[in-house]
Homo-oligomer: A and B are copies of this chain.
Amino acid sequence: MTNLKIIKAKRAGFCFGVKRAVELAFKSAKKSKGVYTLGPLIHNPQVIEKLSSEGVHPTENIDDKNINTLIIRTHGIPLQLHEMLKKKSFTIIDATCPFVKKAQQYAKLLSSEGYQVIIFGDEKHPEVIGLISYSGDDTIVLNSNSNIIKLKKKRVGVIVQTTQPANLFREFISKLVKDVKELKVFNTICNSTALRLNETKNIAQKVDLMIVAGGKNSANTTQLATFCRLSVPTYHVETAEEIQNDWFKQVSTVGITAGASTPEWIINEIEERIRYIGGNGDNGYPR
């Protein structure tokens, strides 16, 4: 265990969209009071707690008189709701992930160009509910389990929920292209989830133990942990405090990864804690 080797995933932690949203929330809290997010900003209790301590609270009630600033979450909201919010007296901060924003614009464009719009994704996902509002009522939501229905128009435009797996989307497009005359596809998949999972998979195959950092309520962190367990003993932790010395008894190499909603400070604390346990450095932890 002495001189424990640590391999930390380069893609651990906040994705671009989450990082941007959290930064916007903290900045807003510094500028004004009465800052709210429309629903919890991300699935990480420590970040939500920290935001709360700075005065950023989740709300579902847009008529709450205490709202001075309302932050829209990363996965976006329906166009009609956005229009409604604009009429309110509070300031709106749009923390919709720019990749989702782009998908919304493409949904609108395809619809205005007269395409039958298809969204590849989960019809109950808030991002998809948002996207539909941009492409209109005749939008069809399909996923890898759907039978492709008989389409009325021969010109079909497709966008994808940003977090869909690329391989399923490719299969879907391959089926679709057979039956349509004109197909316009905006590949709006954000591949950071796939890249993170791939990197984590590679690390898990090289180490004796994996530590996966992130909210227990975070779907993508849980997915990383489930995946690691296929290769190696794995602990899913939210904070450094949960880490126990005896996990490392038979361990010479440990991997660290984290979900898209896990902040850097938590990942760093976890790394420092493991480094201390491994005897590789003195960083202020009690011996």
Task: Please report A residues at the B interface, Cβ cutoff 8 Å.
Answer: 166, 169-171, 173-175, 177-178, 180-187
Contact B186 A177 (CB under 8 A): no
Complex interface: chain B residues within 8 A of A183 (CB): 183-185, 187
CA A175 – CA B169 in complex, angstroms?
11
How many copies of this protein are present in the complex?
A: 2
Contact A177 B184 (CB under 8 A): no
Cβ-defined partner of A186 (8 Å) among B170, B178, B181: B181
- A186: shortest Cβ distance to chain B, in Å? 6
CA A97 – CA B27 in complex, angstroms?
63
Complex interface: chain B residues within 8 A of A178 (CB): 166, 170, 187
Contact A182 B187 (CB under 8 A): yes
- A194: shortest Cβ distance to chain B, in Å? 10
Complex interface: chain B residues within 8 A of A171 (CB): 174
Complex interface: chain B residues within 8 A of A184 (CB): 182-185
CA A187 – CA B175 in complex, angstroms?
12
- A100: shortest Cβ distance to chain B, in Å? 15
A-B contacts, 7 listed (Cβ < 8 Å): A166-B178, A169-B177, A181-B186, A182-B187, A183-B184, A184-B185, A185-B185
- A63: shortest Cβ distance to chain B, in Å? 40
CA A175 – CA B178 in complex, angstroms?
15
Q: Other than the known A182-B185, A183-B184, what 12 A-B pairs have Cβ atoms closer than 8 Å?
A: A170-B174, A170-B175, A171-B174, A177-B185, A177-B187, A181-B186, A181-B187, A182-B184, A182-B186, A183-B183, A183-B185, A184-B184
Cβ-defined partner of A187 (8 Å) among B166, B180, B186: B180
CA A184 – CA B185 in complex, angstroms?
6
**Closest chain B residue to A182, Cβ basis:** B186
Complex interface: chain B residues within 8 A of A180 (CB): 187
CA A187 – CA B171 in complex, angstroms?
17
A166, A177, A178: most-surrounded residue (chain B CB, <10 A): A177
- A165: shortest Cβ distance to chain B, in Å? 11
- A154: shortest Cβ distance to chain B, in Å? 9
CA A183 – CA B176 in complex, angstroms?
13
